[in-house]
């Protein structure tokens, strides 16, 4: 029965081409969350779903559910998918690959005349790229799960300055339902969620493996608006003992924290520590000692304790540097998220699908955060498939080979067929 | 005869008030070199000089020479003064105080009916603030001394993008004469140059001393357009060993170079080392590892060897960091200047004037560069008087107490009277 079950790669190629053509910004791909780019991506996906004859539904958040009905419509369904927004000037595959893979898998089922045992739904999720648009984690999936705090609807999009609720309403969705905690997905109605996504990192590429099965999604501790305050003075006329140099205080903190990370890394503790922004301000200039600097710090690990160890080091260093250098750190609010472990039996199911198809794969932690973490946090078994990709992600050079995508989509489809039985 | 010789503080107050009123930019003071602000400052100063009946001359560079004729007009003259340009959003006293002090001293002579033994000239110098306008050291004074290289007339003003020669011509001056090496001041015709200037640093304020007598002006070694090139990657998905993090590479260089400076400083070696700018670029953002960072480094000392020691450390560190972190440093062109020692007998003459007047003072190196260094380099005996000031310089909060200015101007005037005899 399943010998001829294959993802529809023509459909996948057509979708990727349409997405690229219609959301290209001149440099890369821009699909603003609850904005024109994301709206266009949803339109493209809905068009293919309609052609395939899938059931189409939209929830209060604007998430789309594209369903191939199963034999037992009352059974808890399988949901696969990912997000359709992108960072500004990003690549074509981050997020979209998961939705396209789901549709390609379902289209292959339709073509093969395969009826799953239970409903199989491709979910196109809203607004995952928190770093670029709304400073809140996974509003689309968490809103679908009824787990968005009312205050989170009031966060403002970085570019427009308007709130998530305002943007949702403008696109025709229902922030009031989100405030009231409505859920379009529940533990009772969803048997499992699987997200296919490009790796975003270099591990699969470096190791020559096309597919990753994800063990977990890291939690994070983050400083997104931290500052160092010193005093602007003349760079020539101010002896060392009279300085309040914000730039060098920040350089010291960053370098010493990086050394702390190197120590933890050498002990085999998996975490990452990144000063994404580290900068004197526009006031800085030649012949001036920097009176201010700012930084954005991103610490992530599957093990919350590793994040805590690095932040403990940070909080030891800061007062010591302040006292010695005559500066003040204004760390600002800390944000972050809890780690999300992928479901063990789901992980095994995905690995078995890969083995059955003879596709090389490895287990690996995720580096980035993903909507799958929101499902795991809501108690729904969640899994992820990574596709090897090139040139990282969140940049216009992000790339992915279609043969790798085909293998990953095949793993997804095989798992869907098995798990829906 | 000199008992009643005092600087004209009413004139000084009037000049400072006019300069502040007419070159205020809404935040601080802006007097663009060869631009509107500097032009206005020259007009104000020329008006007072005309009222005083001084001889007024302008050279090919646009420097002004305001001369009180002496008894022996053939004798080499004394020149006092400083620059009238300022940094953008700077303070009212940096530069201007030296010209105002010279005019106040001369006005006091006129009022007292004092005729110096030789000509006494107040010089209003052009374009000293190399950090803000033209990236070349002391074009006004070096042009007056016939020591500007032709290529230096082609450097471009940072804000306008037009060349020094173009700006000079627009203001009605003569870049061709500068190219040809014309000198309006020579060793034969100038007995000495003394520049009064605010300290710009915190030393006199911290030590409770109103006046400094400068021992020397530091030389410098500078990187003004240095970059670190790495690779933008996802901050969550890129393990430590795969990173090419430009931000942390720069933080390491800055912190380790600062530690090297701390070691030299502890040995009593006088130098300063400043990362004036240290920054990821506009491409940086949350969830990205920084693929690029830039910095501006300013190293200064009266002892050239101290600058060399720090740059040797830098050049040892760079390839080591490059190899370990997978980044590349593009240090860009190095600029700099030689140290300028103040004339020993002039220094003693200034100290004697202060002692005679009972004014507290100390010997000290300059931190910043000043036009006096150009005179010293040209073989003209040069000296400097520092005035205690508050809140540093090159910022709108820069301040100076008029009673300190009065004491420093009195030292200048006393020296002028003695040295012109």
| ipTM score of complex | 0.79
Check for a shared fold between A9-218+339-419 and A219-337: no
**How far, CA to CA in Å, does A199 sit from each of A12, A42, A123, B236, B288?**
18, 23, 19, 10, 14
Q: Is B26 on the interface with A (CB under 8 A)?
A: no
Distance from CA of A177 to the nearest CA of B (A): 30
- Decide if B138 contacts B371 (C-beta within 8 A): yes
Name the nearest CA neighbour of A333 among A416, A248, A255, A223: A223
> Is residue B102 predicted with pLDDT exceeding 50?
yes
Query: Could you tell me the two tokens for A219?
Result: 């939690």
User: What pLDDT score does A213 carry?
Assistant: 98
By Cβ distance, the residue of B236, B270, B274 closest to A272 is: B236
Query: Could you tell me the two tokens for B236?
Result: 């969550």
Exposed e or buried b per residue across B247-269, where buried means at least 16 C-beta atoms within 10 angstroms of its C-beta:
bbbbbbbbbbbbebbeebbeeee
Whether A275 and B247 lie within 8 Å, measured CB to CB: yes
- Strands in B64-68's sheet, in edge-to-edge order, are B55-58, B64-68, B120-125, B77-83, B190-198, B382-387, B211-214, B361-364
Q: Is B261 on the interface with A (CB under 8 A)?
A: yes
Report the run of H or E that residue A109 belongs to, with start and end: helix A96-112
DSSP state of B149: -
- Per DSSP, the three-state class of A357 is helix
Distance from CA of A307 to the nearest CA of B (A): 13
Give the integer Cα–Cα distance in Å for B272 and B307.
9
> Is residue B1 predicted with pLDDT exceeding 50?
no
CA angle A138, A140, A141 (to 5 degrees): 70
Question: Which of the following CATH numbers is that of domain A219-337: 3.10.180.10, 3.30.70.360, 3.40.47.10, 3.40.50.2300?
Answer: 3.30.70.360
What's the mean pLDDT in B313-327?
98
User: What pLDDT score does A2 carry?
Assistant: 53
> Is residue B294 predicted with pLDDT exceeding 60?
yes
Q: Is A247 on the interface with B (CB under 8 A)?
A: yes
Whether A265 and B240 lie within 8 Å, measured CB to CB: yes
Q: Is A326 on the interface with B (CB under 8 A)?
A: no
The rounded radius of gyration (Å) of the Cα atoms in chain B is 23
By Cβ distance, the residue of A132, A240, A242 closest to B206 is: A242
How far is CA B262 from its chain centroid? 25
Which 3-state string (H, E, C) describes A214-226?
ECEECEEEEEEEE
Q: What is the pLDDT tens value at each position of chain A, 421 positions in all? A: 455 799 999 999 999 999 999 999 999 999 999 999 999 999 999 999 999 999 999 999 999 999 999 999 999 999 999 999 999 999 999 999 999 999 999 999 999 999 999 999 999 999 999 878 998 989 999 999 999 999 999 999 999 999 999 999 999 999 999 999 999 999 999 999 999 999 998 999 999 999 999 999 999 999 999 999 999 888 988 999 999 999 999 999 999 999 999 999 999 999 999 999 999 999 998 889 999 999 999 999 999 999 999 999 999 999 999 999 999 999 999 988 889 999 999 999 999 999 999 999 999 999 888 999 999 999 999 999 999 999 988 889 999 999 999 999 999 999 999 999 8
Q: Is B244 on the interface with A (CB under 8 A)?
A: no
**With bands split at pLDDT 50, 70 and 90, how would you rate the model's confidence at B3?**
low
Give the integer Cα–Cα distance in Å for A214 and B94.
62
* Cβ count within 10 A of residue A60: 20
What's the sign of the alpha-carbon dihedral B274, B277, B280, B286? Answer: positive
By Cβ distance, the residue of A222, A239, A276 closest to B203 is: A239
Closest-CA residue of B relative to A394 is B234
How far is CA B138 from its chain centroid? 8
Query: Could you tell me the two tokens for B321?
Result: 């960091």
Chain B 61-100, residues with CB within 8 Å of chain A CB atoms: 87
DSSP state of B29: B
Query: Could you tell me the two tokens for A245?
Result: 């140099």
Using a CB cutoff of 8 Å and minimum separation of 24, what contacts does A43-52 make?
A: A44/A15, A44/A18, A44/A19, A45/A15, A45/A84, A45/A99, A45/A103, A45/A124, A48/A11, A48/A14, A48/A15, A48/A103, A48/A107, A49/A103, A49/A122, A52/A103, A52/A106, A52/A107, A52/A110
Name residue B401's beta-bridge partners: none
Give the integer Cα–Cα distance in Å for B127 and B138.
7
Q: Is B391 exposed, middle or buried (0-12, 13-18, 19+ CB in 10 A)?
A: middle
| Tokens 């390839």 found at | B319
User: What pLDDT score does B172 carry?
Assistant: 97
Q: Is A60 on the interface with B (CB under 8 A)?
A: no
Helices (H) and strands (E) in chain A, counts: 12, 17
Closest-CA residue of A relative to B297 is A286
**With bands split at pLDDT 50, 70 and 90, how would you rate the model's confidence at B119?**
very high
> Is residue B406 predicted with pLDDT exceeding 80?
yes
- Decide if A70 contacts A61 (C-beta within 8 A): no
Give the integer Cα–Cα distance in Å for A337 and A146.
17
Cβ partners under 8 Å of residue A116, min gap 6? A68, A70, A71, A78, A109, A416, A417, A420, A421
Least reliable range by pLDDT among A371-375, B127-131, B224-228, B272-276: B127-131
CATH number for the segment(s) A9-218+339-419: 3.40.630.10
Give the integer Cα–Cα distance in Å for B134 and B156.
6
**How far, CA to CA in Å, does B80 sit from each of A264, B260, B379?**
62, 39, 16
Q: Is B405 exposed, middle or buried (0-12, 13-18, 19+ CB in 10 A)?
A: buried
User: What pLDDT score does A1 carry?
Assistant: 45
User: What pLDDT score does B233 carry?
Assistant: 87
Give the integer Cα–Cα distance in Å for B130 and A227.
29
Closest-CA residue of B relative to A266 is B240
Q: Give domain B220-337's CATH architecture.
A: 2-Layer Sandwich (3.30)
Whether B202 and A238 lie within 8 Å, measured CB to CB: yes
- The size of chain A, in residues, is 421
* Cβ count within 10 A of residue B168: 25
> Is residue B395 predicted with pLDDT exceeding 90?
no
Give the integer Cα–Cα distance in Å for A291 and A230.
4
Q: How far apart are the first and last CA of chain A?
A: 12
**How far, CA to CA in Å, does A270 sit from each of A207, A230, A303, A365, B232?**
18, 34, 8, 9, 21
- Decide if B190 contacts B77 (C-beta within 8 A): yes
DSSP state of B360: -
User: What pLDDT score does A3 carry?
Assistant: 54
Chain B interface, best mutation among A135, A159, A224, A234, by max B CB count within 10 A: A234
Q: Is B131 on the interface with A (CB under 8 A)?
A: yes
Distance from CA of B255 to the nearest CA of A (A): 5
Domain ranges of chain B: 9-218+339-419, 220-337
Q: Assign residue B330 a region (left: φ > 0; alpha: ψ between -120 and 50; beta: otherwise).
A: beta
Name the nearest CA neighbour of B250 among B286, B231, B274, B226: B226
- Decide if B267 contacts B306 (C-beta within 8 A): no
E strands in A206-360: 211-214, 216-217, 219-229, 233-234, 272-280, 288-289, 292-301, 328-330, 334-337, 340-341
By Cβ distance, the residue of A87, A206, A232 closest to B392 is: A232
Query: Could you tell me the two tokens for B327?
Result: 């980044």
Cβ partners under 8 Å of residue B101, min gap 6? B7, B12, B80, B196, B405, B408, B409, B412
Whether B255 and A258 lie within 8 Å, measured CB to CB: no
Q: Is A200 on the interface with B (CB under 8 A)?
A: yes
User: What pLDDT score does B2 carry?
Assistant: 53
């Amino acid at each position: 029965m399943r010998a001829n079950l294959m993802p529809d790669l023509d459909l996948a190629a057509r979708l990727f081409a349409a997405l690229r053509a219609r959301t290209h910004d001149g440099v890369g791909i821009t699909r603003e969350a609850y904005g024109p780019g994301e709206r266009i991506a949803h339109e493209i996906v809905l068009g293919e779903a309609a052609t395939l004859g899938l059931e189409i539904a939209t929830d209060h958040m604007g998430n789309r559910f594209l369903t191939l009905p199963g034999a037992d419509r009352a059974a808890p369904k399988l949901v696969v998918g990912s997000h359709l927004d992108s960072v500004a000037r990003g690549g074509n595959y981050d997020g979209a690959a998961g939705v396209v893979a789901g549709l390609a898998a379902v289209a292959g089922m339709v073509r093969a005349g395969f009826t799953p045992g239970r409903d199989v739904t491709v979910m196109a999720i809203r607004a995952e790229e928190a770093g670029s648009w709304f400073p809140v984690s996974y509003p689309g999936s968490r809103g679908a799960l009824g787990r968005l705090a009312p205050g989170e609807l009031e966060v403002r999009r970085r570019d427009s300055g308007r709130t998530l609720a305002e943007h949702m309403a403008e696109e025709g969705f229902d922030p009031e339902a989100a405030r009231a905690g409505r859920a379009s997905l529940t533990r009772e109605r969803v048997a499992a969620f699987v997200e296919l996504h490009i790796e975003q990192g270099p591990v699969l590429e470096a190791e020559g493996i096309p597919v990753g099965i994800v063990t977990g999604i890291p939690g994070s501790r983050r400083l997104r608006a931290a500052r160092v305050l010193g005093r602007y003075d003349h760079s020539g006329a101010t002896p060392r003992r009279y300085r309040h140099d914000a730039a060098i205080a920040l350089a010291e903190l960053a370098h010493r924290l990086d050394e702390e990370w190197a120590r933890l890394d050498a002990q085999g503790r998996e975490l990452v520590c990144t000063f994404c922004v580290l900068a004197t301000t526009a006031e800085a200039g030649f012949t001036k000692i920097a009176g201010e600097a700012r930084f954005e710090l991103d610490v992530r690990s599957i093990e919350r304790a590793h994040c805590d160890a690095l932040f403990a080091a940070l909080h030891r260093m800061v007062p010591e540097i302040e006292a010695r250098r005559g500066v003040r750190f204004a760390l600002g609010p800390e944000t972050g998220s809890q780690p999300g472990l992928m479901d063990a039996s789901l992980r095994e199911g995905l690995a078995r699908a890969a083995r059955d198809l003879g596709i090389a794969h490895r287990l690996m932690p995720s580096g980035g955060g993903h909507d799958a973490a929101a499902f795991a946090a809501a108690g729904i078994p969640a899994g992820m498939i990574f596709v090897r990709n090139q040139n990282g992600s969140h940049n216009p050079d992000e790339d992915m080979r279609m043969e790798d995508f085909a293998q990953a989509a095949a793993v997804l489809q095989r798992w869907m067929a098995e798990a829906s039985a």
